[in-house]
Amino acid sequence: MAPDEKFITSIPDFIIRLGCPKDVPIVLDFIKHLADYEKLSHEVVATEEVLMNSLFIKHQAEVIIGELHGRPVAFALFFHNFSTFLGKANLYLEDLFVDESCRGLGLGKIMFSCLARIAVDRGCERLDWWCLDWNESSISFYKGMGASPMSDWTVYRVDGDKLKKLAESLR
């Protein structure tokens, strides 16, 4: 997907485009709405400055924006991960959010279809993401698209002071 290319969808007046620097406030707003939905608002420390640096200066991730009648109503933030077994990069979806007022219109599935198109166009063989265990409606939605849970794997994380301590143990 080229920076100025728009993905025309089967839903009238719903287009998907790559995010650009002017979208940073919109992206942060979507992140805050997603955090509210996931009951994790207290964990959001991202700022417009941090997002601008991460997305458009360091290019650490990418964003697609879904617009209905010209109004941003959905976003997905993604980046490449790498499978050593496949020997190639794949897409990892960090977050996808559809505005509450637009749920049930099929926008989420179209957003996933766009991500799948990006993955296929880039030679990726997988699109991965996490889902909270309590989010039954999302789990049902994902399974309906043909996704399968990776039940043999457990996610681990080192962060904050423990991450710094681990980094210092190299010395």
Q: Which residues are catalytic?
A: 142
Side-chain-side CA neighbours of residue 160 (13 Å) = 3
Amino acid sitting at position 69: H
Question: Which CB contacts under 8 angstroms, 24+ apart, belong to 30-33?
Answer: 30/72, 30/74, 30/75, 30/95, 30/97, 31/77, 31/95, 31/97, 33/97, 33/99
Contacts of 130 (CB under 8 A, 6+ apart): 155
Of the candidates 44, 5, 13, which has an alpha carbon nearest to the alpha carbon of residue 106? 13
